[in-house]
Amino acid sequence: MPLSPEQEAEITEQRNAPQQTLRAVSDGMEAHLYTAYPVLDHGFIRVVDYMGDDAAICQAARVSYGKGTKSVQNDEGLIRYLMRHWHSTPFEMCEIKLHVKLPIFVARQWIRHRTANVNEYSARYSILDREFYVPAPEHLAAQSETNNQGRGAVLEGAEAARVLDMLRADADRAYDHYEAMLSPEEGRGLAREIARMNLPANVYTQWYWKADLHNLMHFLRLRADPHAQYEIRAYAEAMCAIVADWVPLSWQAFSDYRLGGAALSAAGLDCVRRMIAGETVTQESSGMSAGEWREFQAVLGQE
C-alpha cells in the first residue's frame, strides 16, 4: 500500500475514534471514510470529510426543514427531475474533501477543474519522495494516428522494454541530481524551491481537494469518460465508486442522464425525427459536417 507509516497510523486512529453527530450522515460514505484506495503504482485516494446526502439535495430543492412527509420515491423522482433539467444548485449542497496522491502530470490535468479548493504538498518546504509513475506494460501505447491527444496501439516486446528502461533511468537520474543539489558534499545545499525544478512530471505529489457534488459530477463526466487519459481516469473511476455509495439516488440519475446519456444538436434531433418517419438520412442531407456526422452515428451506435 503506497502509504507512509505515519499516514497509516493516522488513518487507523481516525477510523477507531467515531464521533457522535447531529448532522446528516451517509452510511455508504461512512464505510469509505479515511480508507485509502490504491490508484496507479504509488497513488491513492481517500475521503477525509464530507457534507450532506441525497436528502440534503431534496431539502435544498424544497427549501424546507427536515424530511416532512416526503417518501423515498418522491426524493428519487425529484433528484431525477433536477438532474434531467440541469438544476444544479441543489447538488452544490453536498461536498467532499479528498486526500489524493498522484503524479504531477495528472495533477496538472486535474487542476484545470477550477471550481474546487486545493492545497498541495509544498516542494518549497518539504522534500519530495523518490516515487515516480511508470506505466504498466498494457498502458504503454504509441501515439494515435487519428487523435492528436490520444493513444494508439500498445507497444510490445523490445520496443516497450526500451521505453520503460528510459522512463525509469531518467527518473532515477533526475532524483539523484535532486538529492545531490539539496545536500552537496561541500558548501550549502541548493534551495528546495530551485532544486525541485529538475524533477520530471511523473514524480508523485499529494493534495487535499474539496468540491461540491455538482462540480464533482462535472469532473467525473469528463474524466471517467473512456476517451479521457487513462491515468486520470483511474482516479475518476475510484471516485465514482465512492460517490455511488455516498449519494446513491443522485449517482443513478447522474449515470442515466450524464454518463449514459447523450446531447443532440438541433440538426441531430431533426435527423432522428426524419429517421423515425422512415427517411434515409445521409451526411450530405443531414446538415452536419463530416466530424459531426461521425459523432452522431456513434451516439446512435451506427459507427
pLDDT beyond 70 at 156: yes
Residue that the C-alpha cell 427531475 belongs to: 81
Mean pLDDT of 109-137: 94
Q: Of 121 and 21, which is predicted with more confidence?
A: 121
Q: Average the pLDDT over 146-174 and give the result.
A: 88
For residue range 255-276, list pLDDT tens digits in order: 999 999 988 999 999 999 999 9
Closest listed residue to residue 274, CA positions, set 248, 298, 242, 300: 300
Q: Does residue 87 register a pLDDT over 60?
A: yes
Active-site residue set:
223
C-alpha–C-alpha distance, residues 135 and 167, integer Å:
9
Which pLDDT score is estimated for 2? 64
Which residue type is seen at 118? V
Rounded to 10°, the helix 230-246/213-223 angle is 140
For every residue of 66-125, DSSP letters joined together read S-TT--HHHHHHHHHHHHHTT--GGGGG-EEEEEEEEEHHHHHHHTT--SSEEEE--TTT
- Grade residue 277 by pLDDT with cuts at 50, 70 and 90: very high
Q: Which of residues 152 and 248 earns the better pLDDT score?
A: 248
**pLDDT for residue 69:** 47
pLDDT of res. 154:
85
pLDDT reading at 105 higher than 90 = yes
Report percent pLDDT > 70 for the chain. Answer: 95
Residue 73 pLDDT: 63
Residues 56 and 23: their CA atoms lie apart, in Å, by 10
Phi (first) and psi of residue 156, to 5 degrees: -135, 165
291 grid coordinates:
466530424
Comparison of pLDDT for 291 and 97, the residue scoring more: 97
Cα–Cα dist 258/222, whole Å = 10
CATH fold for domain 5-133+202-259: Gyrase A; domain 2 (3.30.1360)
Write the pLDDT tens digit of every residue in 175-198. 999 999 998 776 789 999 999 999
Rounded distance, CA 75 to CA 87, Å?
Answer: 15
Give the pLDDT confidence of 16-72 residue by residue, as tens digits. Answer: 888 888 888 999 999 999 999 999 999 999 999 999 999 999 999 988 555 554 555
Share of the chain residues as helix, strand and coil, in percent rounded to the nearest 5: 50, 15, 35
Report helix, strand or coil for 145. Answer: coil
* 212, 94 Cβ separation under 8 angstroms: yes
**Whether residue 152 has pLDDT greater than 80:** no
Query: What's the average model confidence in pLDDT over 196-220?
Result: 96
What is the rounded average pLDDT of the residues 123-133?
93
